[in-house]
Structure 1
Amino acid sequence: MAEVHIIGEISQGKDFPKQHLFCKWHIQVGNNWKIVEGKREGQTQVSWSQFNNICKWSYPVDIHLSTAGIQGWPKIYIEVYHLDWLGRAHLFGYGIVTVPTSPGTHTLDCYTWRPFGSLKQRFIQYFLGGGIQLKYPDQIFSPSERYKLSTETMGVVSFELTVLLRNFTNYGVEYD
């Protein structure tokens, strides 16, 4: 079978409205894919900076996948949360990034967003904390459903990933 190795890190989050952030991630693959080794999901530590608007995580990602075809190529789904002074986690953004299909080292920026909500929901969010969350997060993977959402932009999560491909030419897939 053809194999894909994804090695790297979730390096940082920047341009979010508040500090004390952590990121939950999950790798999404198609039905033809199998995880040979590595974790399918994880969570970074809480990070903040006193001097700039960048939270450095340097959280490792190391996963080995096998497949019989390229349909359902891996995507990394993320949720970024803010930890307030009471220890409550508030959703700050959703994002999804496709793993590059070419071998080599890549720097990826995942632009995040969150549901906008009504005026009443935004007042509650401002004064009491929390935030509007998707009832069905699977909507993120469906472009036909995602465009119907009213959202606001949040920050950017950066990835440093190295992609290794093996045995793809044996299965009729050519790459440069």
Structure 2
Amino acid sequence: MAEVHIIGQVVGASNFPQNCLFCKWGIHAGSNWKLISGTVEGQTQVDDPEYQDFAFWSHPIDVHFATKGIQGWPRIHFQVYHQDRFGRSELYGYGVCHIPTSPGTHALDCVTWRPVGSPWDRFRQFFLGGGPQLKSLDQLYSGPDRCRLHTETMGAVRLELGVVLRNFRRFGVSA
């Protein structure tokens, strides 16, 4: 089988309304893909930078897949949260990006967004926190459902990934 090894890190996030951020991440691959080693989901620590607009996480990613075809190429998704001074966590954004298909080192910025509710929801969110969230993360991957959402742009998550491809030609898989 052809193999893909993804090594890198979730560097951090920038351009969010407030600092004190952390994120949950996960890698989603199609049914043709088999996880050989590594962890396909995780959570960073909270970073509250005082002097700059970039939350550093430096959270490692090391995942190894085997596949019979490129259909369902892995994607990584993010849920970025803001933690207030009382320890409450508020969703600040969702983001999805494809793992690069070419071998080598890649620096990626994954732009995030969050659902926007009614004017009453926004009023309540301003004073109480919280806000609309997706019922299922499957909506991140399904285009038709996602296109019907009303959203607003949030910040970006920075990734540094190294992609190693093995045995793609030998098994007739073209990336």
TM-score class normalised by the smaller sequence: over 0.9
Runs of 4+ in 1 over 6 A off after TM superposition: none
| Secondary structure class of the residue paired with 1:144 | helix
Measure the CA separation in 1 of the matches of 2:67 and 2:140: 23
Measure the CA separation in 2 of the matches of 1:171 and 1:48: 47
Q: How far apart are residue 86 of structure 1 and its match?
A: 1.0
Alignment partner, residue 170 of structure 1: 170
Counterpart contact for 2:70–2:174, Cα < 8 Å: no
Measure the CA separation in 1 of the matches of 2:86 and 2:121: 21
Q: 1:1-176 to 2 correspondence within 5 Å?
A: 1-174=1-174
Measure the CA separation in 2 of the matches of 1:35 and 1:147: 30
Measure the CA separation in 2 of the matches of 1:29 and 1:45: 25
**TM-score normalized with structure 2 length:** 0.98
Q: How far apart are residue 137 of structure 1 and its match?
A: 2.3
| Secondary structure class of the residue paired with 1:169 | coil
Q: How far apart are residue 130 of structure 1 and its match?
A: 1.2
Measure the CA separation in 2 of the matches of 1:46 and 1:111: 19
Measure the CA separation in 2 of the matches of 1:174 and 1:138: 27
Measure the CA separation in 2 of the matches of 1:12 and 1:98: 18
Q: How far apart are residue 173 of structure 1 and its match?
A: 2.6
| Secondary structure class of the residue paired with 1:81 | strand
| Secondary structure class of the residue paired with 1:18 | coil
Q: How far apart are residue 170 of structure 1 and its match?
A: 1.1
Q: How far apart are residue 174 of structure 1 and its match?
A: 3.8
Identity %: 55
Measure the CA separation in 1 of the matches of 2:81 and 2:13: 11
- Identify unmatched segments of 5+ residues in structure 2: none
Measure the CA separation in 2 of the matches of 1:51 and 1:73: 38
Measure the CA separation in 2 of the matches of 1:134 and 1:100: 26
- Identify unmatched segments of 5+ residues in structure 1: none
Measure the CA separation in 2 of the matches of 1:59 and 1:144: 32
**TM-score normalized with structure 1 length:** 0.97
Measure the CA separation in 1 of the matches of 2:63 and 2:82: 27
Measure the CA separation in 2 of the matches of 1:91 and 1:174: 38
